[in-house]
Structure 1
Amino acid sequence: MPQASARMSGSARASRRRLSPAGLFGLIAVVLALPVAMMLLMASGTGTATERLWPDPRLLSCLLTGSFAALLSAWLFALQPREVAVRLFAASGLATYGFCLGAAVFLLPVDLSPETLAQAGMLNVFAASGFGLAMIALFALYPRPLRSSRWIIGTSVIIFPIWTLMGWFGPFEPFVEIHRITLVEMAVILLLAGVQVRAARHDPVDRAIALWLGASVIIGAGGFIALVALPSALLKAPFIAHEYGFGLFSIIYAALTVALLRYRVFGLGRWAFQLLFLAAAVLSVLLIDGVMIVWLALDPARATGITLLLIALTYLPARNYLWVKLVGRRQKDEAELFRAVADVALAPTATERIEAWRQLLTQTFAPLSIMPAPIEVGDVVIDEEGRSLLVPGSDGLPRLAMRDPHAGRSLFSPTDARMVSEMLALITYLSEARGAYDRGVASERARIAQDIHDNIGAQLLTALHASGGERKNELIRETIGDLRDVIRNADAEEQSLATLLADLRIETADRVELAGLTLTWESADFPAIQPRRDTLRALRSFVREAVSNTLRHAEASHIAIVVTARGKQLSLEIIDDGKGFDAAIARAGHGLGNMRGRIEGLGGSFALVSGSDGTSISARLPLTP
Structure 2
Amino acid sequence: MPITSFLAVPARILLAVLALCAATAAVATWGALQTPWLGVAFAVDEAGSVSARGLPGGPAHGMGEGASRLALSRPGNRAGLDVEPDDLIEEPDFFDEFARMNRFFDRQGKFRALLDGPVQAEWTRADGSRATEVWIPGARPLGSLPATFWFQLAVSFAGCLIACWVWALRPTDLGASMFALTGLAFPAFAVPASVYSSRELALGGELFRALSAANHAGAFMFGCALLAVFLCYPRRLVPAGALWALPVVYGTWWLADTMQWLPSQNWTRMGIMSEMLGAIALAGVQWRMSRGRPLDRAALRWLALSMLVGSGLFVFSTTGSKVLGFFPPISQGYAFGYFLIIYVGLAFGLRRYRLFDLDRWAYRILLWLAGALAVVLMDAALIVWLRWNPAFSMGVSLLLCGWLYFPFRQWLWRRLTGARGARVDTTFPDLIHIAFSPSRGEQERRWDALLGQLFDPLDIRRLSHAEAEDPRVATLLESGQALWVPPCGGLEGRVLRLADRGSRLFAPHDAELAASLSSLVQKAGEGRDSYERGVREERHRIAQDMHDDIGARLLMLIHQASRAGDGVAADVARAAMSDLRTTLSALEGRSLPLADALADWRAEMAARCDAAGVDFVWNEFVPAMPLPDMQEALPARMKATLERALREGLSNALKHGGPTCIEVDVRAGNGRLDIAMRDDGVRGAGRSAPVAGPASVGLGLAGMRRRLAEYQGVVGLERGEDGCVLRIFLPLGAGAGPGASVEPAEPAEVRA
- Category of TM-score, reference length = shorter chain: 0.5 to 0.7
* 1:239-388 to 2 correspondences below 5 Å: 242-332=332-422, 334-373=424-463, 375-376=465-466, 377=468, 378=471, 379-388=473-482
**1:192 Cα shift?**
0.8
Letter in 2 for 1:356: R
Deviations along 1:107-131, whole A, 9 cap, x unmatched?
2115321121111011011111111
Secondary structure in structure 1 of the residue aligned to 2:460: strand
Aligned to 1:171: 261
Of 190, 200, 206, the match for 1:109 = 200
In structure 1, what is the equivalent of residue 609 of structure 2? Answer: none
What amino acid does structure 1 have at the position aligned with 2:447? W
CA distance 1:78–1:42, shift in 2 (3 Å): farther
Per the alignment, residue 619 of structure 1 pairs with none
How many Å separate the matches in 1 of 2:36 and 2:144?
Answer: 5
Match of 2:165 among 75, 81, 87: 75
CA distance, structure 1, for counterparts of residue 35 and residue 474 of structure 2: 56
Cα distance change, pair 425–44 in 1 and its aligned pair in 2 (3 A): farther
Counterparts of 1:221 and 1:374 in 2: how far apart (Å)? Answer: 50
In structure 1, how many angstroms separate the alpha carbons of the residues matched to 2:289 and 2:25? Answer: 40
Q: Is the contact made by 1:168 and 1:174 (CA closer than 8 Å) also made in structure 2? A: no
2:233 corresponds to which residue? 142
Aligned pair partner of 1:185 in 275, 293, 297: 275
1:402 maps to 2:496: yes
- The correspondence for 2:218, drawn from 127, 146, 155, is 127
Q: Are the counterparts in 2 of residues 193 and 217 from structure 1 also a CA contact under 8 Å?
A: no
CA deviations 1:533-584 (Å, max 9, x no partner) are: xxxxxxxxxxxxxxxxxxxxxxxxxxxxxxxxxxxxxxxxxxxxxxxxxxxx
Deviation at 1:71, TM superposition (A): 2.9
* 1:33 corresponds to 2:28: no
Secondary structure (helix, strand or coil) at the match of 2:262 reads coil
Question: Does residue 90 in structure 1 map to residue 180 in structure 2?
Answer: yes
* Contact 1:43/1:54 (<8 A) preserved: no
Give me the TM-score of the superposition, normalised by structure 1. Answer: 0.62
Q: Determine which structure has the larger helix proportion and give its number.
A: 1
CA distance in 2, matches of 1:82, 1:150: 13
Partners of 1:434 and 1:392 in 2: CA distance: 19
Report how far residue 219 of structure 1 moved. 3.9
**Residue 332 to residue 125, structure 1, CA distance change in 2 (3 Å):** closer
Deviation for aligned residue 1:302? 2.7
Matches of 1:16 and 1:295 in 2, distance apart? 62
CA distance in 2, matches of 1:206, 1:241: 36
Return the alpha-carbon distance in structure 2 between the equivalents of residues 189 and 333 of structure 1.
40
5+ residue gaps, structure 1, are 1-11, 229-238, 457-625
Deviation at 1:186, TM superposition (A): 0.5
Contact 1:186 1:225 in 2 (8 A): no
> 1:161–1:408: structure 2 CA closer, same or farther, 3 Å change rule?
same
Q: 1:73 to 1:41 in 2, by over 3 A?
A: farther
- Aligned residue for 2:662? none
Query: Structure 1 residues 286, 244: CA separation in 2 closer, same or farther (over 3 Å shift)?
Result: farther
Q: Work out whether residues 227 and 275 of structure 2, in 8 Å CA contact, stay in contact via their aligned partners in 1.
A: yes
1:400 alignment partner, SS class: strand
Point out the more displaced range, 353-362 or 262-271.
Answer: 262-271
Q: Unaligned regions of 5+ residues in structure 2, if any?
A: 40-54, 59-140, 319-328, 551-752
Q: Distance in 2 between matches of 1:76 and 1:41?
A: 34
Q: Does the 8 Å CA contact 1:190/1:218 hold for their aligned counterparts?
A: no
Match of 2:485 among 372, 385, 391: 391
Secondary structure of the corresponding residue to residue 202 of structure 2: coil
Q: CA shift at 1:417, angstroms? A: 1.1
The alpha-carbon distance between structure 1 residues 37 and 211, as it changes in their structure 2 partners (threshold 3 A), is same
The percent of aligned pairs where both chains have the same amino acid is 31
Tell me, yes or no, if the aligned pair for 2:294 and 2:504 is still in contact at 8 Å. yes
**Per-residue CA shift, 1:193-231, capped at 9, x if unaligned?**
111111112111001111211232334357769999xxx
Indicate the larger mover: 76-85 or 93-102: 76-85
**Does the CA contact (< 8 Å) of 2:480 and 2:505 recur in 1?**
yes
8 A contact 2:312–2:373 mirrored in 1: no
Q: State the one-letter code of the partner of 1:27.
A: A
- Residues 188-197 or 57-66, more deviating: 57-66
Q: Counterparts of 1:369 and 1:336 in 2: how far apart (Å)?
A: 23
1:217 aligns with 2:307: yes
Pairwise CA distance, 1:262? 1.1
1:69·1:93 contact (CA, 8 Å) conserved in 2? yes
Q: Determine whether 1:197 maps to 2:189.
A: no
Partner residue in 2 for 1:24: 16
Cα 1:399/1:68, change in 2 over 3 Å:
same
Q: Say which SS state the counterpart of residue 386 (structure 2) adopts.
A: coil
Q: Is the 8 A contact 2:294 2:498 kept in 1?
A: yes
Matched with 1:427 is 521
